[in-house]
Structure 1
């Protein structure tokens, strides 16, 4: 092949200097009619390796941690009253609140 030769493309396309035809590559790279490794690869997507089981195993302890955190938040709301809230109707007000009254 001569370096000065330009490969002619189909009308309306840019000339391809390399000679690589994308359409032929896509057609050749399609799904094969028969996959000899299909049976050997099937185990990767069955049983404990299904998509749901893989997702569940990605976050071990997330369910228990979520329940424990929710219980702690409920305990905190019900039993741990903060003694530092002023101006909640107990007669005490902040100094800057008295200026506005």
Structure 2
């Protein structure tokens, strides 16, 4: 007898693509929104710069 398991899967070679790292859930979720991290950093920098600019150029409100 050969040293192969008695009940081996005949479709294992055809299903091997499912175990590829490209199709793992973490990889799919990370690549679902490309550029999202850069956009978050850019938007945060914009909000901080806008707050700094607005606080340095406050207009004095005139009461009528």
Q: How would you bin the TM-score normalised by the shorter chain?
A: 0.5 to 0.7
Look up the SS of the partner of 2:10 in the other structure. Answer: coil
Structure number with the bigger relative contact order (C-alpha 8 A, sep ≥ 6) is: 2
TM-score of the two chains, using structure 1 as the length reference: 0.43
TM-score of the two chains, using structure 2 as the length reference: 0.62
Tell whether 2:19 aligns with 1:62. Answer: no
- Deviation, structure 1 residue 38: 3.3
Question: Across the two proteins, how many residue pairs are aligned to each other?
Answer: 57
Calculate the aligned-residue CA RMSD, in Å: 2.7
Runs of 5+ in structure 2 lacking a partner? Answer: 1-6
Q: Which consecutive segments of 4 or more residues in structure 1 shift more than 4 A?
A: 81-85
Which structure features the higher share of helix residues?
Answer: 2
CA distance in 2, matches of 1:64, 1:52: 19
